[in-house]
Structures are given as structure tokens and as C-alpha cells.
Structure 1
């Protein structure tokens, strides 16, 4: 994989995680730099590593996790 392709993949990963995190926190009026925001970020990263690798998939997984 070239450096450009790696950079593009990394950028897409960050965009998916950030987008899901920003949306989740905005829906709940949670500040990103609060303890709750940091906890959600950690959970989102874990969900990403578990296979939820798009913003939509992450949001669905976060919503499902909230219901349990």
C-alpha cells in the first residue's frame, strides 16, 4: 500500500469516528471534552475495532448499546 492510499484510508477512518462522535454528542447535548464525551469516544473506538467501520454503523451500534 502506498503512503497516499494509507493516508486516505486513515483519513476515512478518522472521518467515520469523528462524524459518529460529533453526531452522538450533539444529539444528547454532550460536550466532546467532558468525561462523558471521552467515554463515548472510547466506546466508539472499541466499536470501530469490532467491525462497525462507517459513521452509520457506529451510530447504530452506539444506539443499540444505549438501549441495553
Structure 2
């Protein structure tokens, strides 16, 4: 059984992970913290709303108000 490494699903995960890791690193936030998990949820929602490149998604995360 072989896996398709260049599938659209892996592209989605790479975009989401790249933007999220960059956002967390900029703020010295651990991904598994409450803030990191909150940002992951926001990133998924933003991605589904059309921010589907790493740069656009990271920019949208920068503009999002986190509480």
C-alpha cells in the first residue's frame, strides 16, 4: 500500500501547519497550550473561509483578535 504524498490533503495540512507554527513561534506560544489550540481552531476556520495560502493565512491570523 503506497501513500500519495503530494495529495491535496497534505497540501492543506502543510499550509495550515506552516502558518500556525510561524504564528506560535512569533509569540513564543506552545502549540499544545490553550492559546495554541485556540489559534489552530481559528486557522482552520480562516482556511475554510478562503485564506488558502500560508502567507494569506498567517496574515489573517495576525489580524485576528484573540481573547
- Name the TM-score, length of structure 2 as normaliser: 0.86
Aligned to 2:36: 37
Aligned to 2:58: 59
Aligned to 2:21: 22
User: Structure 1: any 5+ residue segments left out of the alignment?
Assistant: none
4+ residue segments displaced more than 3 Å: none
Instruction: Report the alpha carbon displacement of residue 64 of structure 1 after superposing the two structures with TM.
Output: 1.5
User: Structure 2: any 5+ residue segments left out of the alignment?
Assistant: none
Aligned to 2:7: 8
- Name the TM-score, length of structure 1 as normaliser: 0.84
Instruction: Report the alpha carbon displacement of residue 32 of structure 1 after superposing the two structures with TM.
Output: 0.4
